[in-house]
Structure 1
């Protein structure tokens, strides 16, 4: 019995990866295709929620920076006007012992108390001496940190902070994912700054970033989705996958519709995919992939943005006086991320938990903070009291004063928050992804291909684009297969379809699927 609908390429999920695939399919204008999603709008893990009071919160701390001209062009097509965007210089700090230490921490130990400076410099010198004689690669992330930074920086910042982020010890993570994610300090520069009492400048690919003026990060992806023909998109139960039959090459949806496909581009979490396939071999294999959950907390406050907040963007918290690892001053990204000044809102509570003097609705202005809290079996969270604990953490770290008036709160848990680059990950992916591809399934995206090092929005989008090129014309999947390559240069090519050279080696294009 045939499927209700038949297409050459079916795309599951309308986050950045799925939309990248759809954009490319629409551009090629060759194979028949369809894109589906169980949500009511596009965005996925790059979406944005709006509270009843009018505060916007992204699904975590997203900003736009890019390694790809193709990605830039697609976003500029979706949001083409100058006033569609704001461009910001990143102002980022680490909170440590009541100080705001400029990011990255390891380049700015000149800001630390003298005793901590000595600990960090001792470690840096020891690490530099050890690196000169090391003839093996670090066996895990912890060993990489020790070789690059030494014991002082690791104990003071890197270990506690990374545990708060990943919810697993650094000894259980591999080091191959690092690339441009972690700044390796220049010992001479750090020592010079300590002596001269100077700080290092901005570092990293997101030192300058774009942010949409309206509708948060999710607004980007709804705008991209709007450039895709309406008849090619299905949402809600018409896009919710309940079963994948890899042998028959059909997908069953929650409304009972079946879709036959030639090739499948999957962007749902790969562990969820193999469960829907009912393939016990692959389900067992996927158990070797680890992830942490993310709680996103939002707090809306009445009043002018305080001087202590200034133009800060996002902030890091390694200490245990707060449950969050990162705070984003979300109101600094756009004046439309919170209600306008004339909106009247009642005060829910003061930051110290006390009752407000008045619950009568009053005007603003307003500002907001977005927090992220990780969770895993190794790092449990008191979910019932997470909002209370987060607000207390804001007071403890002096982001809020006890008397500040809170007018809105937000909390949402994302079960799959971070794909952990665990020690076991590569062994699983090198077996799992090719087995799926042999079945005509290209599993791509933040959790579709489970590679955090290419899990930003630009990477995710291009994973979808490149999967389509691999399916249709045998194009190379640079982002999936060569993360270091895409992370160390701006990719200005429209598409590559021939072998290329990287690091003195010829890198083969995958054969046409």
Structure 2
């Protein structure tokens, strides 16, 4: 006999699980509960704090949204103007010892002349050859060459994406791209090269919000506080250790058993398969690939230098640094680091030499956060990764050899990026329907394994829409039609009565939506 019986059980208190819980609480149809092994909600959108008081997110997270529903929930959790800072994205690519404005492919005017010529030749060739292509590109690498040419491919896109994904671009599909990669406009690029001008901001995150306090994780702690606390079962004892699909029960580490009618799973689907002990499902999940993300933080004493300025996040395609991205995390909020009057010891200088004094001294302070990917195709020297990262910061002018380092941070997240591999969609086409027949909806960054809808707003809405499907029979737009949701600002509340309007719009775009009521 189960210790608890609920109509809907949610596994995971990251953005997807909290989205599901928010919607379940709002609709108030039947009983529900949420379980998570961590005592603090947030999942892969959480924030750590070092002993010295520096904050680091689980990678580079910012808030920008495709959904009004998401905005409303976030604003309910953090409703005051002083809860947020709004920033204009200032991003660059470090290449050829210079900073090239993002997106790189639109700003090659910043490169040395020889590299400008190679990039322009490649774009011209790509534009000419595009007229004769009758089939879609077979992989991400072919997409890059068709869209941008071999010059940009070799200089930036291939090396950078290998550093991010930890697999070659030839092993990735290109359906996931959507709005994430800017295709260069040949006329505009040519004009900017001749005039020596940079292109303007591009993309959905050109303007973004960041919480004033507690980092990105503070958002999700605040969202969780808007829910009935007795329904949130958090902490080590609530770690899921077994899923019995026949009995519709979940067993927790502390010994409690929960019986469910429907299960919304947001843990990685390969881990779910292991907890189910389902060999067929396990064989399918082996077709899914992911990379591990190492997050490295460095806290520095001193006034933020002019060479850093108001930069937000920065990209690094070249081999002189192990990281693919660095974020000037102190620029997001003055509370992401200790206040200036805080006294801290200098651990060592950036070049590894000893500090001049062992006495704690006051700030001010600023910080950098770097990300490094790892996979079987891209191994990492973990033991020396912190040292190599700091040297990479010196190599790329983020740090100077004499900078005083007062705090360091390193944490590895095993499931960091869900790889849009060539095999992914074929595996998901088997995995997700198979689970649904067993009353399990697996959703989220790794629950449904679709990076193209893996941002915080997407993840939250995957949970919301999963509940709408379970309780109302609604269509899950984010899961099924990523290009559609990424191409508009969604104001619908994902209710059944709103589906007819959305369906007409989709049909006008030659997309068929099958009613699931």
Tell me the TM-score range normalised by the shorter chain: over 0.9
1:64 aligned residue: 63
Quote the residue 1:511 is aligned against: 516
Instruction: State how 1:49-448 maps to structure 2 within 5 Å.
Output: 49-448=48-447
**Cα contact 1:475–1:509 (8 A) shared by 2:** no
Structure 1 residues 421 and 506: alpha-carbon distance in aligned structure 2, compared to 1, 3 A threshold: closer
Where 2:131 maps in the other structure, the secondary structure is: helix
> Could you tell me whether the CA contact under 8 Å between 2:472 and 2:495 is conserved in 1?
no
Cα separation, partners in 2 of 1:496 and 1:506, compared to 1, 3 Å: farther
Is residue 2:29 matched to residue 1:30?
Answer: yes
The worse-fitting range, judged by mean Cα deviation, of 498-507 and 6-15 is: 498-507
For 1:476, the equivalent position in structure 2 comes to 475
How far does residue 206 in structure 1 lie from its aligned partner after superposition?
Answer: 0.1
Shift of 1:438: 0.6
- Cα deviation, 1:60-79, whole Å, max 9, x if unaligned, reads 00000000000000000000
SS at match of 1:242: strand
- Whether the aligned pair in 2 keeps the contact of 1:476 and 1:496 (CA below 8 Å) is no
Measured after TM superposition, the shift of residue 415 of structure 1 is 0.3
- 1:321, 1:397 within 8 Å by CA — same for their partners in 2? yes
- 1:237 is displaced (CA, Å) by 2.9
CA displacement at 1:510 relative to structure 2 = 4.5
Following TM superposition, by how much is the alpha carbon of 1:238 offset from its aligned partner in structure 2, in angstroms? 3.4
1:486 aligns to what? 485
The two structures have a TM-score, normalised by structure 1, of 0.99
Superimposed CA distance per residue, residues 340-364 of structure 1 (whole angstroms, 9 cap, x where no aligned partner): 0000000000000000111110000
Correspondence 1:16 to 2:21: no
1:455 equivalent in structure 2: 454
Q: Where in structure 2 are there 5+ consecutive unaligned residues?
A: none
C-alpha RMSD of matched pairs (Å): 0.8
Q: Distance in 2 between matches of 1:237 and 1:392?
A: 37
- Determine the C-alpha separation between the residues in 2 that align with 1:396 and 1:121: 28
1:137-188: CA deviations, max 9, x gaps? 0000000000000000000000000000000000000000000010000000
Aligned to 1:3: 2
Tell me how far apart the structure 2 counterparts of residues 386 and 485 of structure 1 sit (CA, whole Å). Answer: 40
- SS of 1:180's equivalent in the other structure is coil
Tell me how far 1:496 sits from its aligned partner: 4.2
- Matched residues in 1 for 2:282 and 2:344: separation? 49
Q: Secondary structure at the match of 1:62?
A: coil
> Residue 259 and residue 274 in structure 1: after superposition, are their counterparts in 2 closer, same or farther (change >3 A)?
same
Aligned-pair distance for 1:471?
Answer: 0.1
**Structure 1: which 5+ residue stretches go unaligned?**
none
Find the residue that maps to 1:145 and give its secondary structure. helix
For structure 1, which segment, 12-21 or 238-247, has the greater mean C-alpha deviation from structure 2 after superposition?
238-247
In 2: Cα distance, 1:116 partner to 1:359 partner: 47
SS in structure 1 at match of 2:309: coil
Q: List per-residue Cα deviations over 1:40-79 (Å, max 9, x = no partner).
A: 1100000000000000000000000000000000000000
Query: How far off its partner does 1:504 sit?
Result: 2.9
Q: What CA distance in whole angstroms lies between the structure 1 residues aligned with 2:264 and 2:512? A: 24
Q: CA deviation at 1:236?
A: 1.3
Give the 3-state SS of the residue equivalent to 1:505 in structure 2: coil
CA contact (8 A) 1:294 1:418 kept: yes
